Structure 1
Amino acid sequence: MGLVACVEQQPTTTAPQQAAAPAPLPPILPFDQAVTNAANTVFTNAPQGSYRVVIDPLVDGVTGYTSAATENIQSRVIDLVQRQYPRFSVERFSPAALKDPPMVLVGTFTPVNGQNQTTGPREAYRFCLVLVDLKTGKVVAKSVARAAVAGVDGTPTTVFRQSPVWTADPATQAYISTCQASKVGDTVSKDFLEGLTTASLISQGDDAFNAGSYQTALDLYSTAKRSPYGDQLKAYNGVYLSYLRMNQEAQAANAFGEAVGYGLKRNRLAVKFLFQPGSTQFYQDQALSGQYPVWLQQIATQSAQFTAKANDCIEVSGHTSRTGSSQVNERLSLQRADYVKRRLDADAPQLGSRLITVGAGSNQNMVGTGKDDLSDALDRRVEFKPVGKCS
């Protein structure tokens, strides 16, 4: 028998592929330059041809609020397009403008930390602009930039400054994702596209409310609310505020109750109760706190109905801005939650042991700029969250 030499095969090794390095963050630029650069990038890279464009109002990428800053950006973009990009015709965002599908511009302007995240001390604004072709439903141009904090006025516009209730609303999240989670060539979400007509009605309602035309605002918000995509927070808040400004108190109370019910259904209801600095007592200014007894009564009623139906409990959490030490803020936020719980117990004794309180301090700031004014009032909110068990 012959011998056959066997050569042991050496295993081949492949060098591990290194993960692609993350793209460098855009430089932090002065506000004016950041806006100009972002707008130029979008309209320079848009498809060739002449197009109608509507602007779905830019928002904060966490709260969904429009602000003095986002309105400033929108005005600058319109001016730039009219001066330098005549092939685009900017029209008002309205149901009529959407019938023959135009391009739609969306954007977010969000305070972020040094790592571009919405936690910790905010050091810049993250700015995103996206142009969507409604005929194809695709993103056709996008730009991102960062703007310096100095000189930026993040104060919410009147309707959002006065809106008492916040929750993570699917319609707003669809808008934010269209800007922040997309790239050129992507098909945008069905929820965003199909909700645009309702969004335009709400936008017109916001304009009317900000201008003091409360009956017009109410009509627009009510029409939006009755539409197939009208089950959204902006419509609920708008109806409440319009009734309130027209001194129709019973209708306003019922509308606030509907907004509370919507937030509980979404498993997160934030209410802008404003307290005196370092205190568990509400502001004494009736312009700020005059409606708080009505709010508390409606929250108590809706919470009692919700817990009875779902056999759940509700966690009441206090929140503060980051001014002061974390230890003091956590203690103060818990004391404020306890105070609100006592008020709810008084309005609805049947809640009994179904309310539990926690203090979050400044650990869950939504705005995070630390200005302690109307621009970051949501950081000093009280939240109500349904939980499975009381403990």
Structure 2
Amino acid sequence: MFGKAAVSGDKVNLVIDPLIDAASGAQSVATRSMQATLMEMVRAHYPRFTVLPFDSEALASKPVVLVGTFTAVNNQGVADGPRDAYRICLTLADLKSNSVVSKGVSRARVEGVDATPTPYYRDAPLWAKDQATDSYIKVCQGTKLGDPIDPGYVEKLTANALINDGILAYETQHFREALAFYRAARKLPGGEQHRVRIGTYLAASKLGRREDMVDAFGDLVDYGLATDRLMVKLLFKPGTTQFIDDRQITDPYPMWLSQIATHSRQKGACLEIVGHTSHTGMPQVNERLSTLRAQFVMDLLLTGAPDNRGRMIATGRGFKENLVGTGKDDASDALDRRVEFKVIGC
């Protein structure tokens, strides 16, 4: 892939915009490990390339940017079959010529991929569609050799570098620094990103800044409601409608639900509360369980705002709408056990 890159010059600067899981947008143990392997490989075998840190100084030199995605797929190509493999896509995008200069695709068995999300993504309270992640995936999966780079992706690069600094600061327990990176990123073109909102919430919660934490979560809720879809990680004990017995995880749940109830009421939004389960067990059992969980969450929302009763319905989808779909039942497919708040017509 590096040997056949159609890029001019004897010396080429290279930065890696961190690889992600295409279903969740998360960095994982596997994406980080592959990144490290690629860096070692380039340093050892491709002296033409100089690997630079992913920061504004390196980006100013208009380097080649490596992007990559891991996507869980069915190896036989069966659309709703079990996702038993990962498709790994890598792309080199040259900022000087503004074009895609090399591509590579491979497959790996699910057993050989540790999809455990890194701490920032593991701790993120919710998930929503994010334009920055979509444009990253498009550069990797939606291009062929010689194609121009999506301008939406290029515009966000400097902000992305700062956001990544914030993520790494959070993951090394430097919460104040993380907050500063997110605030700086937010002021840049393309910095108004979902990852910034999540990072601000996480850093504020680790610093014990209750008011900032509530504001940041409200901001996340507003963003999700504006995209008509808010996917919240509410973790239940297996096979039950009770939250897991881990106070550290469940302590903020009442605040989350109260913010969702308040902000949806302020916006006059009607909500369909949708329960989901991961891809294990019997479909009928999972559908019933996911409906009961959605009902349980709806009842909690109504305790604080009983006048919202006519504006909410609870449904369950079982594992029909899995985003990850590997059925591992651990942190790597936590999104498949989400509770979704969909804005619907009243």
Relative to the length of structure 1, the TM-score reads 0.86
Asked if 1:238 is matched to 2:195, the reply is no
Instruction: Give distance in 2, aligned partners of 1:266 and 1:43.
Output: 42
Indicate how the Cα distance of structure 1 residues 182 and 162 shifts in structure 2: closer, same or farther if over 3 A, else same: same
Instruction: Give distance in 1, aligned partners of 2:139 and 2:127.
Output: 20
SS at match of 1:44: coil
Instruction: Give distance in 2, aligned partners of 1:247 and 1:119.
Output: 43
Indicate how the Cα distance of structure 1 residues 78 and 379 shifts in structure 2: closer, same or farther if over 3 A, else same: same
Alignment of 1:79-90 (within 5 A): 79-90=40-51
Q: Residue 45 of structure 1: CA displacement?
A: 3.2
Instruction: Give distance in 2, aligned partners of 1:366 and 1:120.
Output: 13
Cα deviation code 1:94-150 (max 9, x no counterpart): 112111211100000111112457743111100000000111211010011111122
SS at match of 1:187: coil
Instruction: Give distance in 2, aligned partners of 1:47 and 1:98.
Output: 16
The answer to whether the 8 Å contact 1:108/1:128 transfers is yes
The answer to whether the 8 Å contact 2:2/2:46 transfers is no
Alignment of 1:68-87 (within 5 A): 68-87=29-48
Pick from 362, 372, 377 the counterpart of residue 334 of structure 2: 377
Q: Residue 229 of structure 1: CA displacement?
A: 1.3
**What residue in structure 2 maps to residue 124 of structure 1?**
85
Instruction: Give distance in 2, aligned partners of 1:116 and 1:99.
Output: 41
**What residue in structure 2 maps to residue 164 of structure 1?**
125
Pick from 245, 254, 262 the counterpart of residue 293 of structure 1: 254
Indicate how the Cα distance of structure 1 residues 66 and 276 shifts in structure 2: closer, same or farther if over 3 A, else same: same
**What residue in structure 2 maps to residue 304 of structure 1?**
265
SS at match of 2:324: coil
Alignment of 1:120-159 (within 5 A): 120-159=81-120
Pick from 46, 52, 59 the counterpart of residue 91 of structure 1: 52
Unaligned regions of 5+ residues in structure 2, if any? none
Cα deviation code 1:50-108 (max 9, x no counterpart): 21011000001111100000000000000000000011001111112111211100000
SS at match of 2:21: coil
Identity of aligned residues (%): 47
Instruction: Give distance in 2, aligned partners of 1:269 and 1:64.
Output: 15
The one-letter amino acid of 1:314's match is L
Asked if 1:268 is matched to 2:229, the reply is yes
Instruction: Give distance in 1, aligned partners of 2:180 and 2:121.
Output: 18
Pick from 189, 193, 196 the counterpart of residue 157 of structure 2: 196
**What residue in structure 2 maps to residue 175 of structure 1?**
136
The answer to whether the 8 Å contact 1:313/1:355 transfers is yes
Indicate how the Cα distance of structure 1 residues 243 and 117 shifts in structure 2: closer, same or farther if over 3 A, else same: farther
SS at match of 2:107: strand
Instruction: Give distance in 2, aligned partners of 1:58 and 1:113.
Output: 21
Unaligned regions of 5+ residues in structure 1, if any? 1-40
Q: Residue 371 of structure 1: CA displacement?
A: 0.9
The answer to whether the 8 Å contact 2:7/2:94 transfers is no
**What residue in structure 2 maps to residue 47 of structure 1?**
7
The answer to whether the 8 Å contact 2:155/2:189 transfers is no
SS at match of 2:190: coil
Pick from 305, 320, 323 the counterpart of residue 277 of structure 2: 320
Pick from 352, 361, 371 the counterpart of residue 309 of structure 2: 352
SS at match of 2:50: strand
The answer to whether the 8 Å contact 1:116/1:126 transfers is no
Could you tell which deviates more after superposition, 76-85 or 292-301?
292-301
Instruction: Give distance in 2, aligned partners of 1:79 and 1:142.
Output: 19
Cα deviation code 1:154-177 (max 9, x no counterpart): 000000000011011111000001
Q: Residue 322 of structure 1: CA displacement?
A: 1.6
Asked if 1:259 is matched to 2:216, the reply is no
Instruction: Give distance in 2, aligned partners of 1:275 and 1:148.
Output: 28
Could you tell which deviates more after superposition, 224-233 or 279-288?
224-233
The one-letter amino acid of 2:299's match is R
Relative to the length of structure 2, the TM-score reads 0.97
SS at match of 1:141: strand
SS at match of 2:27: coil
Instruction: Give distance in 1, aligned partners of 2:137 and 2:31.
Output: 14
Instruction: Give distance in 2, aligned partners of 1:270 and 1:48.
Output: 44
**What residue in structure 2 maps to residue 30 of structure 1?**
none
